[in-house]
Amino acid sequence: MKAILAWLQKLENLILAASFIVMTLSAFAQVVNRNFVGAGISWFEELARYCMVYMALLGTEVGLRDGTQMAITAVIDRFGGIPREAVLILGKMVVVAFSVLVFWTSFSLLEKQVSFGQLSPGLGVPMYIPYAALPLSFGIIAAVQGATLVVMIAALFGGKGARAPEGGAA
């Protein structure tokens, strides 16, 4: 399981890095064209926007995995011991359930985009490419957070507490 999670993390980081580079270059090119050449090219802006969507959705999983997501811990801080671990596990279960739900329902949205054959106005790419960010990112979120949940439950019953392992923050 660790090998699959490591592979997913590498894929995620590769997509994030590529999206960031493409977004930055296309936004820079758009600004240069608009301000110095006097010709705005719409597909630069559209490409930057689609890259930003991929980055935001995949960045959500990075934040969940690394524990850098903003969290309100007022309820969790009131508990200690097993009740605290149970609340952490319950929270992780909600994240996994929501991610699976969005992952599953995003396929119907993706299927509609494929059947409509709609193209983006600037780039002329099929609209299912930007919409593919939903099943891709929420599939990765569900897989990584689901694995983290399994480790948390195993740690709770193994007597080590439900603290999320390194690379899978609760």
pLDDT tens string 113-167: 999 989 998 888 999 999 999 999 999 999 999 998 998 899 888 866 555 555 4
- Residue pointed to by tokens 């059947």: 115
Mean residue pLDDT across the chain: 87
**Tokens at residue 155, please?**
């740690």
Q: Is the pLDDT of residue 47 over 90?
A: yes
**109 Cβ neighbours under 8 A, 6+ residues apart:** 131, 134
* Out of 25-29, 67-71, 97-101, least confident range: 67-71
pTM for the structure as a whole: 0.81
Q: Is the pLDDT of residue 91 over 50?
A: yes
Contact 92, 65 (CB under 8 A): no
* Out of 48-52, 95-99, 160-164, least confident range: 160-164
DSSP annotation of 124 reads -
CA atoms of 114 and 105, how far apart (whole Å): 15
Q: Is the pLDDT of residue 170 over 50?
A: no
Q: Is the pLDDT of residue 41 over 50?
A: yes
Share of the chain above pLDDT 90, in %: 49
Contact 21, 47 (CB under 8 A): no
Q: What are phi and psi of 49, to 5 degrees?
A: -65, -45
**Tokens at residue 38, please?**
């006097």
Band the pLDDT of 6: cuts 50, 70, 90: confident
CA atoms of 10 and 51, how far apart (whole Å): 18
Give SS3 for 48.
Answer: helix
Q: What are phi and psi of 164, to 5 degrees?
A: -65, 145
Instruction: Give mean pLDDT, residues 16-37.
Output: 91
Instruction: Give mean pLDDT, residues 74-84.
Output: 84
